[in-house]
Structure 1
Amino acid sequence: MTAPFLTVADVRLIEQQVKKILRAKSSSSDTKIVNTVRGLAVAELREKLNMVNEDILKEVEILEDSINTELFFHSLKAYTIPFKAISDKGLQKLFKKDKKLKLPKLDSIDWQTISYLSWLDKGTNRQYIVLENEGEYIALRGIYEASTSTKGVCAICNQHSSVHLFTATVKGNGDHYTSYSNYICEDVLVCNSYVSDYTKLEQFVYRNLASNECGK
């Protein structure tokens, strides 16, 4: 069996491009238009996928209906590299300054569907974000403002969604602190379903990284 080679973000990118093709088919009977959209979708996959697989691209080139599309999407799970599961103890170590850390329900998470782990503590208005790269975890903690709920573009997935303001505070030299605020999806699962560019996700976290707040 082929070892997994697609990131979750890769899978989301494939799904998004295939849905563009299906939308073109449903809105136009002009074969040339549909073929143009399909060609652009395949070209974008060739450009952006971490590892190009010709068999997958051939599937994208011949998909014609929603039933076969759902079967195709399901088949991608066999090639998907999951987010490496982390334990409660692992999260407590990442956020060890939070003595009463409220933990997410880890046993309910499908690790093959998330590019990042995040959860809200509504009691403290804190939002926690964890990235994983080859077994190493990167932690970010910030404050979310429920009162800022609005429609807008998420700084993580770059899609239009229901968002709230997330603010991370970074300690600089001496007693100097800098705060960074961004609008991000209110619903973490929705956001994960949109993330198709892991580099942009990493850039968001590193740009806002409050390692002194979370860590050592």
Structure 2
Amino acid sequence: MINPILTVANVRLIEQQVNKILNSKSLSKDPEILSAVKGIAVAELKEKLPVATEEILRAVTQISDRTDAELFIESLKIYTIPFKAISEKGLQKLFRKDKKLKLPKLETIDWHGISYLSWADQGTHRQYIVIEKDGTFIALRGISQPQYYTKGICAICNQHGPVHLFTATVKGNEDRYTSYSNYICDDPEKCNAHVTDYKVLEDFVTRNLV
């Protein structure tokens, strides 16, 4: 029986390093340069991903082309701990203050492909984010502000691309409210594809809950 050891973010990190190697192959035919890039990729994985087996590390250096890479990443699913599937009732409990909560189409979600669940209600401009921490779901609700659409660095995945302002308002002492605004990816699916460090995601959510 195979024991899943990788998070979805771990798999994205491996995919990131594989892409670095393939990009290097397309830019240079110098074997020394390619060897150096492979060495850097393996070193980064060893540093950031101690659970990576020698088999995985060896496979990373043996990827020959995009098709090979896609097959390899697909093969990692059996080692991957998926995002814990949540039901509509579960989401309603997390966001119980929203009486007319608009829910995402849960049947279309690939739980092996996301580090967090997010969707928006275009009518109210509310955006919802759900993560897992220590076996518990943590919910964050904010206002998505498309009028502040731009290109920049996402606070969740740290990648450059189309982003919009996400503002969460929290209640503090003496009934005072504080708003926290961050730019995040306009497309949660693409953002999920770039999340390679789950700790950054956790920090983003918990920081906005303070």
Instruction: Settle same-fold status: TM greater than 0.5.
Output: yes
**1:204 aligned counterpart, secondary structure:** helix
Structure 1 stretch displaced more, 128-137 or 158-167: 128-137
Gaps of at least 5 residues in structure 1 are 211-216
- Structure 2 vs 1, CA of residues 160 and 105 (structure 1 numbering), >3 Å: closer, same or farther? same
Find the counterpart in structure 2 of residue 30 from structure 1.
30
Alignment match, 1:146:
146
* Structure-1 separation of matches of 2:161 and 2:167: 18
Q: Once superposed, what is the RMSD of the aligned Cα atoms?
A: 1.0
Aligned residues: 210
Query: How far off is 1:135 after superposition?
Result: 3.1
Percent identity between the two aligned chains: 66
Q: After the TM superposition, which parts of structure 1 deviate over 3 Å for at least 4 consecutive aligned residues?
A: none
Question: SS where residue 161 of structure 1 aligns?
Answer: strand
**Does 2:109 align with 1:109?**
yes
Q: Secondary structure at the match of 1:149?
A: strand
Q: Does 1:158 align with 2:154?
A: no
Q: Which residue of 1 aligns with 2:46?
A: 46
How far apart are 1:133 and its partner, in Å?
2.9
Q: Provide Cα deviations, 1:96-153, integer angstroms capped at 9, x if missing partner.
A: 0111111111111000000000000011000000001343100000001011111111
Q: Is the 8 A contact 1:161 1:185 kept in 2?
A: yes
**Structure 2 counterpart of 1:172:** 172
Q: Is the 8 A contact 1:152 1:160 kept in 2?
A: yes
SS state at 1:101 partner: coil
Q: TM (normalized to structure 2)?
A: 0.97
**Any conservation in 2 of the 1:10–1:50 contact (CA below 8 Å)?**
no
Gaps of 5+ in 2: none
CA contact (8 A) 1:6 1:50 kept: no
TM-score of the superposed pair, with normalisation by structure 1:
0.95
1:202 and 2:202 aligned = yes
**In 2, distance between residues paired with 1:154 and 1:5?**
27
The correspondence of residues 44-193 of structure 1 with structure 2, limited to 5 A, is 44-49=44-49, 51-193=51-193
- CA deviations 1:132-189 (Å, max 9, x no partner) are 1343100000001011111111000000111000000111101211111000001010
Partner of 1:214: none
Q: Distance in 2 between matches of 1:166 and 1:65?
A: 38
